[in-house]
Amino acid sequence: MAADSIAMQSPQDLGEDPQTDPSQTPPEVAPADEKADSLWRDFWYAFRGNKMAVVSLVLIGVLVVVAIVTALFPSVLPYDPYQQDLSASFQEPSLAHLCGTDQQGRDIFSRILVGTQVSLTVGLLAVSISLVVGVTLGAIAGYKGGVVDTIIMRCMDMMLAIPSILLAIAFMAALGKGIDKAVVAIGLVSIPEYARIVRSQILSVKENDYVAAARVIGDSDAAIIFRHVLPNVLPSIIVRATLGISGAILDCAALGFLGLGVQPPQAEWGDMLGRGRNFIFSAPYTMIFPGLAITITVLAFNLLGDGLRDAVDPKSRRR
C-alpha cells in the first residue's frame, strides 16, 4: 500500500487542473501552481522515459485519427468497405488488396480501418459506463461504510461470481445484437472492478487529516467525496480505466466472434474473425489481419496503462 499512498499524494500527477478542485489553494497563490506544475513535470518526465509507453500513446493517437478520418471522410479508404464483389472474393494479400479480400470480395484492409471506429467507441463508452457507475458505488460504499457498504459490495461480489465474458454474453443474448447493446453489456460487467478499487482506496484516504478537517468545517458528504477524496484516488482509477479499455476491446471482439456483436454488414474485427472461420485453411489471411488489429490495439492500451501506472507509482517504476 506504500506505493498507493505515494501516488495518492499527487492527484495533479495526471495533469489535473488544480483550478477544478476548489479545495486546493486558490490559483492566485503562485507556489501551489508551481508545485502542481512540477508534479505534472515529474509525471511527464517519468512517463517520457518509458519508450514503450510513449510509442503506445502515439499508436493510440494514430488509431483515433484513423477512426475519426474514416468516419468523416470515407473516401480516403482504398475501397468501399461494404461494397460486395463476388468476382473478387478471396483474393490473397497483394499491392491492390494489402490484406486480401473476404468471402464477399470486400477489401479486408478497408474493413479493418473502418473497424477501428467500433472497437474504440465500444472501448471508450463501455469503460465510461463502468467508471461512472463503479466509482460512484465504490465511493459511497467506502465513505458511508456500515450497511450501505455491505449491501453494495455484496451486490458487486454477486456480479464478480460470474466470469465477465459469460455475463456479457448472457446480456447480449438477452438484449440482442448491436453496438449500443455491446457497450451496455461490456460496461455493466466491469462495474465491480472499479467499485472495489475505489472503495479500498477511499477506506485508506478517508482517515487522513484533511478529510477530518473538511468534515469539521461542515462540508457535505458529497462535497467531501468529490472534492477531497476522489481526486486522491484518481491516478489509480485512470490507470485501471486505461487497462479497462483494452479489456473492453477484447470483450467486444469476443462477442463479435461469437456472432453476438454488430449487425451486418458493419465492419467489426471480432465479427470479421468469426466469419473467416469456415475458410481458416483456404484463406487464413481473412483471420490473421483482423486478429492482428485487435492485438495491436489492445497491446497499445495495455502498454499505456502500464506506463501510466509506473509514472504515478514510483515503486513500480523502480522495477
Partner 1 sequence: MAKYVVKRILQSILVLLGVSIIVFLIMRVFSSDPAPVVLGEHATTEAMEAWRESNGLNDPIIVQYFNFLGGALTGDLGTSYYTHTAVTQEIMSRFPATIELALVAIIIAAVLGVVLGVVSAVHKGSFVDGFSMILALVGVSMPIFWLGILLIILFAGVLHVLPSGGRIDPLLQPVGGTGFYLLDTLLSGDFEAFGNALQHIILPAVALSMYSMAIITRMTRSSMLDTLNEDYVRTARAKGLPEGRVTKHHALRNAMLPVTTVIGLQLGSLLGGAMLTETVFAWPGIGKYTVECILKSDFPVVQGVVLLIGVIFVIINLVVDIIYAYLDPRIKYSKEEG
Q: How far apart are CA 30 and CA 34, in angstroms?
A: 6
Choices 21-29, 35-43, 169-177, 216-224; region in contact with partner 1 by CB under 8 A: 169-177
Number of chain positions touching partner 1 (CB under 8 A): 46
Choices 9-17, 213-221, 226-234, 257-265; region in contact with partner 1 by CB under 8 A: 257-265
154 binds partner 1 (CB under 8 A): yes
Q: Is 67 helix (H, G, I), strand (E, B) or coil?
A: helix
159 binds partner 1 (CB under 8 A): yes
What are the residues whose beta carbons fall under 8 Å from the beta carbon of 86, sequence distance 6 or more?
104, 105
166 binds partner 1 (CB under 8 A): yes
Q: How far apart are CA 106 and CA 133, in angstroms?
A: 40
173 binds partner 1 (CB under 8 A): yes
Q: Is 70 helix (H, G, I), strand (E, B) or coil?
A: helix
299 binds partner 1 (CB under 8 A): yes
Which of 260, 267, 304, 311 touches partner 1 by CB under 8 A?
260
Choices 37-45, 111-119, 131-139, 270-278; region in contact with partner 1 by CB under 8 A: 270-278
Which of 41, 48, 51, 277 touches partner 1 by CB under 8 A?
277
Q: How far apart are CA 314 and CA 319, in angstroms?
A: 9
287 binds partner 1 (CB under 8 A): yes
158 binds partner 1 (CB under 8 A): yes
Q: What mask of x and - would describe binding to partner 1 in positions 175 to 214, judged by CB under 8 A?
A: xx--------------------------x-----------
291 binds partner 1 (CB under 8 A): yes
Provide the 8-state DSSP code for 107: B
Under 8 Å between Cβ of 167 and 189: yes
170 binds partner 1 (CB under 8 A): yes
CA proximity to 254, closest of 268, 242, 243, 234: 268
Q: How far apart are CA 186 and CA 172, in angstroms?
A: 9
Under 8 Å between Cβ of 171 and 189: yes
Q: What mask of x and - would describe binding to partner 1 in positions 226 to 255, judged by CB under 8 A?
A: --------------------x---x--xx-
161 binds partner 1 (CB under 8 A): yes
Which of 162, 212, 222, 223 touches partner 1 by CB under 8 A?
162
302 binds partner 1 (CB under 8 A): yes
Cβ-based neighbour number of residue 62 at 10 Å: 12
**Exposed e or buried b for every residue in 290-303, given b needs 16+ CB within 10 A?**
bbebbeebbebbbb
Choices 18-26, 171-179, 204-212, 214-222; region in contact with partner 1 by CB under 8 A: 171-179
CA proximity to 138, closest of 13, 27, 230, 246: 230
Planar angle of CA 217, 20, 133, nearest 5 degrees: 85
Given the rule CB under 8 A, which residues bind partner 1? 154-155, 157-159, 161-167, 169-176, 203, 246, 250, 253-254, 257-260, 270, 273, 277, 280-281, 284, 287-288, 291, 294-295, 298-299, 302-303, 306, 319
